[in-house]
Structure 1
Amino acid sequence: MRAPWDPEESTPGRRRSVPGSRDHLRKQTPVGRFFATWGWRAYAIPVLVVLTALVIADAVVSPDAQPDDGAVRAQETPAIVGAPAAGEVPPSGELPEGGPFVEAAGGEFRLVPGGTDPVGRPTAEQFTYTVEVEDGIDTVDFGGDDSVARMIDATLANPKSWTADGAVAFQRITRGEPAFRVSLTSPMTVRENCGYDIELEASCYNSATGRVYLNLARWVRGARSFEGDIGSYRQYLVNHEVGHAIGFPAHEPCPADGALAPIMMQQTFGVNNAEIHRLDPEGVVPDNDDTCRYNAWPFPDGATVAR
């Protein structure tokens, strides 16, 4: 669902530099006039400035000084989106009672063969994906690997999913490098890749590995806020975590009491703002008692454009 709460990795588009039509015309710039005027002294000045800066830096930073912890983590922590912060655990976030599941598996993933036709508008941003299952997870209780893959395919192809507004399109592939890998994963492997600052079963998207980690514990038992509706919860889980993968890193609060929960609300942990606020007091969710109804879809009213 990165630890801490939801560090964001910005991925701005890159602009190509367009060579100017007059690049071949060279004029003397102010810098050129400076060097022409001062000769060799112009080269000595920058060297002296650099040496002075190094001396000052050495005087300010002693050998015993510790590096800034936040800066180190910013470089070393994977870009994990969706992991809960180390706040107070609300009862609504606890794993419900239910069927058994494998706590730990092999850490490697098997690809579920098969693909789909593109879903969404041809002019939309195209996202390819694979469906994978961690070795050691037996999916027979879910109808097998193919059944898991078909459920994920059907969720992303639903007119109420992310393709509804015409901005994105999906296609499952088995060859080539996908944009992301939707992976049914054991809880222990999820913790290794999503963090486990507090004892809550979470899922996440980790851009460093390119994986959407769907927590097997949640796949089997769901979330208390979904009141036993496992099917809807699985649809929510796919849509929410894929939302992170396609560029929606931020979470959302319940907008009004009694409203449908936004898909990017952390419904796994609750649909009441105050409960989510307890997990992350510094986050975007206000400390009020607005309670939403659970919702599995980005666009619950259906497609907003023709596909």
Structure 2
Amino acid sequence: MSTHRSHSARRRHRRGGSSAPASGRRRTGALWAGLAALTVLGASGFAVVGWADDGEKRAGSRGSSPAPVRPTDRLPSAPSPSGPSAGPSGPVAAGSPAPPAASPSAPVIPPTGPGTFVVAPGGSAQTGRGKALRYRVEVEKGLALSAPDIAEQVEGILADRRGWTADGRSAFRRVSGGGADFVVRVATPGTVDKICGQFGLDTGGEVNCNVADNVMVNLRRWLLATPVYAKDVTAYRALIINHEVGHFLGHGHVDCPAPGRPAPAMMQQIKGMRGCVPNVWPYDEKGRLVTGPALP
């Protein structure tokens, strides 16, 4: 657009010819000089506005010499998404323009709640051999979580062939009424602290615990995982359940067996991997227990 306007100005100047009076020529020359200056300013202004609206790639495609951009005009670069959790819309097709940078908001974590719970309805068939341990799944009231959805996730974790049923003697069945051997509860950090603190454990608003028949899951860990598992929160949820149910079954903490080895599920991975690689299951694909040196 700026190129077209510049050419039009030059054509009108040539039509003036040499027959115009000197004063007219001076006025005409000043007029066209002013218009030319406005044209240049308009062109450079358009280039900068176009870059700011559409990104650096579009600005560069306007010509071989794009208008220089001051440091205050530079837009921050969006981080490149990676892995299967790059975004809800899936991967961008090859050759498609990049989507605008987004800043996903972190989930809201209420510091505490009422301390009362909603029970996930229904139940499950028994998984594993032996006498089944009955368990309920509960979610603290007021949380924007689906109790049935969480119950389904817990069922899948406890039924996995790499879970505790691989020991050949542990079995589980989810119930929603009657007696239960243990209860999996997802709760706010304050409620977890309160229930765990009644048994002398300090969870500090950050971690999970198993006390008596309570498997207490801290909402912060359920939603955010830890830095090691930040890109695979679903996997970390399996680690929470396997670790705390493991305590209920009588398993204590263990250490990393050796650098480069899978981290045991009963290792306190939230405190650091100590050279081990991430792993959330008590047993491996071949049915072997993943463990390490016992810790006091």
TM-score (structure 2 length as normaliser):
0.58
Percent of pairs with identical residues: 36
Structure 1 residue 193 displacement after superposition: 1.8
1:260 aligns with 2:262: yes
Instruction: Identify unmatched segments of 5+ residues in structure 2.
Output: 1-104, 289-296
Structure 1 residue 126 displacement after superposition: 2.3
Tell me the amino acid that sits aligned with residue 154 of structure 1: G
Structure with the larger RCO, 1 or 2 (CA within 8 Å, 6+ apart): 1
Corresponding residue number in structure 1 for 2:206: 201
User: Contact 1:225–1:269 (CA<8 Å) still a contact in 2?
Assistant: no
Structure 1 residue 178 displacement after superposition: 0.6
Deviation track 1:94-143 (CA, whole Å, cap 9, x = no partner) reads xxx9422222111011111010010011xx2421100001112121xxxx
Structure 1 residue 165 displacement after superposition: 2.1
Partner of 1:131: helix, strand, or coil?
A: strand
Structure 1 residue 247 displacement after superposition: 1.7
Mapping for residues 51-130 of structure 1, pairs under 5 Å: 98-121=106-129, 124-130=130-136
Partner of 2:270: helix, strand, or coil?
A: coil
Q: Which has the larger radius of gyration?
A: 2
Q: CA 1:302–1:112 in 2, change beyond 3 Å: closer, same or farther?
A: farther
Partner of 1:268: helix, strand, or coil?
A: helix
CA distance in 2, matches of 1:303, 1:118: 20
CA distance in 2, matches of 1:198, 1:134: 17
User: Contact 2:188–2:219 (CA<8 Å) still a contact in 1?
Assistant: yes
Tell me the amino acid that sits aligned with residue 217 of structure 2: L
Tell me the amino acid that sits aligned with residue 205 of structure 1: N
1:230 aligns with 2:208: no
Deviation track 1:132-184 (CA, whole Å, cap 9, x = no partner) reads 01112121xxxx22111100000000111100121200000122111100000
Deviation track 1:208-263 (CA, whole Å, cap 9, x = no partner) reads xx210000000010012224210110011111111111221x10100100100011
1:134 aligns with 2:136: no
RMSD across aligned positions (CA):
1.8
Partner of 1:243: helix, strand, or coil?
A: helix
Mapping for residues 240-259 of structure 1, pairs under 5 Å: 240-248=243-251, 250-259=252-261
> Which stretches of structure 1, 4 residues or longer, exceed 4 Å deviation after superposition?
196-200
User: Contact 2:189–2:205 (CA<8 Å) still a contact in 1?
Assistant: no
Instruction: Identify unmatched segments of 5+ residues in structure 1.
Output: 1-96, 273-290
CA distance in 1, matches of 2:205, 2:119: 27
CA distance in 2, matches of 1:127, 1:302: 24
Structure 1 residue 302 displacement after superposition: 4.8
Of Structure 1 and Structure 2, the greater helix share is in 2
Q: CA 1:170–1:194 in 2, change beyond 3 Å: closer, same or farther?
A: same
Corresponding residue number in structure 2 for 1:65: none
Q: CA 1:171–1:191 in 2, change beyond 3 Å: closer, same or farther?
A: same
Structure 1 residue 300 displacement after superposition: 2.3
Partner of 1:181: helix, strand, or coil?
A: strand
Structure 1 residue 200 displacement after superposition: 5.7
